[in-house]
Amino acid sequence: MPNNSIQVKGLQKSYKKLHVLKGVDFEVEKGSIFALLGSNGAGKTTIVKILTTLLKPDSGTATVNGFDVASKPESVRQSISLTGQFAAVDEILTGRENLIMIAKLRHLKNPRQVADDLLNRFGLTDAAGRGVSTYSGGMRRRLDIAMSLVGKPQLIFLDEPTTGLDPEARIEVWKTVKELAANGTTVFLTTQYLEEAEQLADRIAILHEGRIIANGTLADLKKLFPPAKVEYIEKQPSLEEIFLAIVGKKEEK
């Protein structure tokens, strides 16, 4: 078995005249948290859609858990879960019913038990019998992530998991993501929040104008930052400064 959960080579995708991905390459190691960083419209969601078999690339290859997304989409779907940009929960059903529904669709033996365990784990037991339309944004996101964990997929995609959440709910989601990785699940997350990548990710890739322009650990990225001119100042660059510096440099070319 390869040690990579995701392997992407030369991925290209256009929407009509808009060339969104112009040759994207990266790898995601098994059991790690990988953050794809980029501004709005950089193509992060397009990459997620290709990797989750919702969209076909124009060219290039992508392998997820050892399966090619183009030729083995069923096997890919078997081993992944997607938490999309908007909480994909059923508003009219209750929290428990949502989880049971997903467990049934994953053809698990004991949907109720699976649902109750996840409700417990995500602190939603008290709200389990209430319609999701009454949930707060943070609870909805928690349920959303819980739904993605039904059936214990090896790899989960989180597309901007904290967009639109208040700081408290954001920290809750971060805690959840860290726990996932601690249990061996590979996490692929996209974000436009630099702090989020800094907090969570083992590796960070920066997507800009259709290409990955930097990829490495936070320490690697920090090395890319031009050395300070006056050396005795010890201030470390924040990821935000790194990001803006790299992006700015590329645009000048």
Partner 1 sequence: METIKNYFFMDMGVMLGRSMRHIFRSMDTIITVTITPIAMMLLFVYVFGGAIQTGTDNYVNYLLPGILLIAIASGIAYTAYRLFMDMQRGIFERFHSMPIARSTALWGHVLTSLLSNAISVVVIILVAFIMGFRSSAGVLSWLAVAGILALFTLALTWIAAIAGLSAKSVDGAGAFSYPLIFLPFISSAFVPTASMPSVVRAFAENQPVTSIVEAIRALLSSQPVGNDIWVALAWCVGIMLVAYIFAMRAYKKRV
Q: Which of 87, 177, 221, 242 binds partner 1 (CB under 8 A)?
A: 87
Identify which of residues 102 and 200 has a Cβ nearer to partner 1 in the complex: 102
Q: Could you count the other beta carbons within 10 Å of the beta carbon of residue 126? A: 9
Does the footprint of partner 1 cover residue 86 (CB under 8 A)?
A: yes
Identify which of residues 15 and 250 has a Cβ nearer to partner 1 in the complex: 15
Dist CA 153 CA 32 (whole Å) = 14
Stretch that binds partner 1, among 9-17, 19-27, 100-108, 184-192 (CB under 8 A): 100-108
Does the footprint of partner 1 cover residue 18 (CB under 8 A)?
A: no
Residues contacting partner 1: total by CB under 8 A:
29
Q: Which of 7, 12, 78, 238 binds partner 1 (CB under 8 A)?
A: 78
Cβ neighbours for 249, distance < 8 A, ≥ 6 positions apart: none
Nearest approach in angstroms of CB 148 to partner 1 is: 8
Q: Which residue do the tokens 């059923």 mark?
A: 90
DSSP string for 42-79: SSHHHHHHHHTTSS--SEEEEEETTEETTT-HHHHHHH
DSSP 8-state assignment for residue 9 = E
Identify which of residues 88 and 245 has a Cβ nearer to partner 1 in the complex: 88
Does the footprint of partner 1 cover residue 147 (CB under 8 A)?
A: yes
Alpha helices by DSSP H, the chain: 44-51, 73-79, 95-105, 111-121, 137-149, 167-182, 194-200, 218-224, 239-252
Stretch that binds partner 1, among 22-30, 79-87, 120-128, 171-179 (CB under 8 A): 79-87
Angle at 174 between CA 4 and CA 141, to 5 degrees: 100
Across 112-122, b (16+ Cβ under 10 Å) vs e yields eebbbebbeeb
Does the footprint of partner 1 cover residue 4 (CB under 8 A)?
A: no
Nearest approach in angstroms of CB 131 to partner 1 is: 8
Does the footprint of partner 1 cover residue 105 (CB under 8 A)?
A: yes
Does the footprint of partner 1 cover residue 74 (CB under 8 A)?
A: yes
Does the footprint of partner 1 cover residue 70 (CB under 8 A)?
A: no
Angle at 103 between CA 99 and CA 109, to 5 degrees: 135
Nearest approach in angstroms of CB 210 to partner 1 is: 22
Does the footprint of partner 1 cover residue 101 (CB under 8 A)?
A: yes
State the angle between helix axes of 111-121 and 95-105 in degrees (0 to 180), rounded to the nearest 10: 130
Identify which of residues 50 and 214 has a Cβ nearer to partner 1 in the complex: 50
